[in-house]
Structure 1
Amino acid sequence: MASSVEVFGGGTAVITGAAAGIGAGLARHAALALRMNVVLADVDRAALERTCADITADGGQATPAVVDVRDAAAVQDLADRVVKESGPPRLLVNNAGIQQFGYLWDTPVANWERLVAVNISGVFHGIRAFLPHLLARSESAWVLNLASIGSVTAWPLQTPYIMSKHAVLSMTECLYQEVELAGARHIRVSAVLPGAVTSRIFDDAGGVDGGDLGAAEKEREAMFRVRERAISPEEAAATILRQAADGEFYIVTQPDSVLGAMRDRAEQLTARRAPAPPRSRFAAPQPE
């Protein structure tokens, strides 16, 4: 079986949401361990430039691209520019995502619309902009869409995020079938289901400006405790790209917890059991 370096080395990678967290981990691993030419796309210019500077200082090839994935035209411009300058990317990672805490009925409409635009439409915009370029050529290419362990669970007080990750997972499953139907065997599509990975997604998450503020902040604090037991973005990136190179469709960063959640979901559906608030598989043990 080919190694990650043999599969991806020397190619171009485009990663959205690449300024921090798991996106930055993927960019660093692709640039430094796999020797890829990495285009980092993010809406946060300052963080993006810092991440690119860190990668280039360590000897990697990193190009910043300030792009808001909510803007279909901007993502299309990015795709056209990358193809013109470097050819179709060998690796496309649709990673950009944001969080939201609080009861669904307390969620501000603006927060809902922003999350849907980033987490769902952002993935669609990446697919729509890059897939025609990949289909037009015969070179092998990999498309990775970031779902989450949340894409196979139901979790209260994070409903917009959980809903969006279910959508990304189903979008990716359908995309896999469509690529097969189109006869594009040179394109590999995968859904990435990370468990807990260190990032600022909980710090930067939206909350509520009315209703039960306490419930929203209590859930944020619970996720901070989960983060204490998270793996690093670099560790997650190495696992993700190794499994992608191995041809996995469902890519998981922590098999025990993520595959356990997948089994629980399957059992719940087949038993027609109503969902109950789950206990986090990543939470620290509680004292007796």
Structure 2
Amino acid sequence: MATQQEVFGGGIAVVTGSGSGIGEGLAHHLAERLGMTVVVADIDGAAAERVAGALGAPGRGVPYQVDVRDADRVAELARWVRAELGPVRLLVLNAGLEQFGYVWDTPVAQWERLVDVNINGVFTGVRAFLPSMIADEGRSHLLVMASIGSVVSVPLQAGYVMSKHAVLGLTECLHQEIGLVGADVSVAAVLPGAVESNIFSSAGGVEEGDVDAAERQRRAMLAVHERAITPAEAAETIMQQAAQGEFYIVTQPEMVLKAMADRATQLAGRRPPAPFRSRFAANASR
């Protein structure tokens, strides 16, 4: 069985959203454990500089400020990496946002931003980098950050869940398309469970409507994070499974595989998501 070093050692990696959280953990793992040159791409230029400067040997981390919503800017990144550093061996499309609140309370601007980052940010990365990765000699790898949220439904987090369902579907189709053209590119979907990050504390809320409900959900998710694994632990698990050629990569098998199995059972049984009765229906029946 191939080791991480055999599959990924050396070469160029690009990780979007790597200024914090799982992305930062992956950047450290790729640079320090696998000896890769890592392009730390993030909308927060200062965070990209900080992480890149902490990646072991000088020059091992390369900061790049980029907004994944901007297709032209992402294309510029891809051209720059190829010209200045060389072919990309590993691309990790990780940038993502959270959002709390009832769908009907969610501000339009925040909904559109979430869709742009979580879904369109994957598209812009694929469109910018994949043609060259397909054309290059040698095997390359694409990891797309989905979530346990891509196989569950969660009230008051509909925007995030919807976006991650879309990301998983996109990645599954992309895997099939790579097979159709016979390219030597490995595509995988990463489904993390709870991993330490600022995704919940920095998530959008609502300005009108049931603000309290949105904040209660935020607090509930922050409590879940108290039992989260570290980004370093997540990175180790992710890259180990990637080296083994897994398509569905999970950070906490017991948690995530159960969610996947429960989802399959629910769909096969045509059962509505639980709880299937809203508080409005309950009130109306009294």
1:161-181 CA deviation, whole Å, 9 max, x = no partner?
A: 000000000000000000000
Question: Counterparts in 2 of 1:165-184, with a 5 A limit?
Answer: 165-184=164-183
Map of 1:285 onto structure 2:
none
Query: Where does structure 1 lack aligned partners over 5 or more consecutive residues?
Result: 279-288
Map of 1:230 onto structure 2:
228
Higher mean displacement: 133-142 or 122-131: 133-142
Map of 1:32 onto structure 2:
32
Map of 2:284 onto structure 1:
none
SS at match of 1:198: coil
Q: Distance in 2 between matches of 1:87 and 1:79?
A: 10
- One-letter identity of the residue aligned with 1:257: M
Following TM superposition, by how much is the alpha carbon of 1:243 offset from its aligned partner in structure 2, in angstroms?
0.5
Map of 1:109 onto structure 2:
108
Question: Counterparts in 2 of 1:123-138, with a 5 A limit?
Answer: 123-138=122-137
Q: Distance in 1 between matches of 2:194 and 2:49?
A: 26
Q: Distance in 2 between matches of 1:222 and 1:210?
A: 20
Map of 2:95 onto structure 1:
96
Q: Distance in 1 between matches of 2:46 and 2:39?
A: 16
Following TM superposition, by how much is the alpha carbon of 1:74 offset from its aligned partner in structure 2, in angstroms?
0.5
Following TM superposition, by how much is the alpha carbon of 1:59 offset from its aligned partner in structure 2, in angstroms?
5.9
Map of 1:249 onto structure 2:
247
Following TM superposition, by how much is the alpha carbon of 1:55 offset from its aligned partner in structure 2, in angstroms?
1.5
SS at match of 1:90: strand
Map of 1:18 onto structure 2:
18
Q: Distance in 2 between matches of 1:46 and 1:132?
A: 30
Following TM superposition, by how much is the alpha carbon of 1:138 offset from its aligned partner in structure 2, in angstroms?
2.0
- One-letter identity of the residue aligned with 1:5: Q
Q: Distance in 2 between matches of 1:229 and 1:42?
A: 26
Are the aligned partners of 1:193 and 1:250 in contact in 2 as well (CA < 8 Å)? yes
Aligned residues: 276
Return closer, same or farther for 1:36/1:153 CA change in 2, 3 Å cut-off: same
Question: Counterparts in 2 of 1:64-213, with a 5 A limit?
Answer: 64-184=63-183, 186-213=184-211
Are the aligned partners of 1:155 and 1:277 in contact in 2 as well (CA < 8 Å)? no
Following TM superposition, by how much is the alpha carbon of 1:60 offset from its aligned partner in structure 2, in angstroms?
6.9
Are the aligned partners of 1:32 and 1:60 in contact in 2 as well (CA < 8 Å)? no
Identity over the aligned pairs, expressed in percent? 61
Q: In angstroms, what is the RMSD of aligned CA positions?
A: 1.1
Please point out which of 257, 264, 267 is paired with 1:266.
Answer: 264
Runs of 4+ that moved beyond 2 A: none
Are the aligned partners of 1:154 and 1:277 in contact in 2 as well (CA < 8 Å)? no
Map of 2:280 onto structure 1:
none
- One-letter identity of the residue aligned with 2:233: E
Are the aligned partners of 1:19 and 1:51 in contact in 2 as well (CA < 8 Å)? yes
